[in-house]
Each structure stands twice: as C-alpha cells, then as structure tokens.
Amino acid sequence: MDINKAYEQAKYQLEIEGFTLNEKDEKVMKAVASGQITREQLIEDLKQGVDTCKRLP
C-alpha cells in the first residue's frame, strides 16, 4: 500500500472518531510512515513541544 492511500485511510478513521487533520498533521504522518522519522522521535517532539515539521525536508 502506498503512503498516500495509507494516509487517506488513517485520516478517514480519525474523522470518524471526531478528529480533523491539517497539512502539518499530514506531513508528519507521512514522514513517520515513510521512515523519515520514527514514532519515538515524534513522541519526543510532542512531549517537548517541538514542531516536528521544522525538521522535515
């Protein structure tokens, strides 16, 4: 499954749960799915209040 399709499926599931995603969310989710960053790195950024998008290309 390609990253875009996986993202769309995850987005749909989150919307069913009442969440909405923005462009930054999409960029970060795709970065994790493609291996640009790990889930652990994302979690650390979230804990420290770091904008993960700033470190992505």
Question: The whole model's pTM is what?
Answer: 0.78
Structural domain containing residue 42: 3-55
Closest residue by Cα to residue 51 from 33, 26, 24? 24
As for how many domains the chain has, the answer is 1
Each residue's pLDDT tens digit, 44-53: 999 999 999 9
C-alpha–C-alpha distance, residues 40 and 43, integer Å = 5
The separation between CA 20 and the C-alpha centre of its own chain, rounded to angstroms, equals 12
Q: What is the pLDDT of residues 3-42, one digit of tens each?
A: 889 889 999 999 999 999 999 999 999 999 889 999 999 9
Residue 28 CB: number of other CB atoms within 10 A?
20
Closest to 54 (Cα-Cα) out of 7, 33, 42: 42
Predicted pLDDT at 44? 95
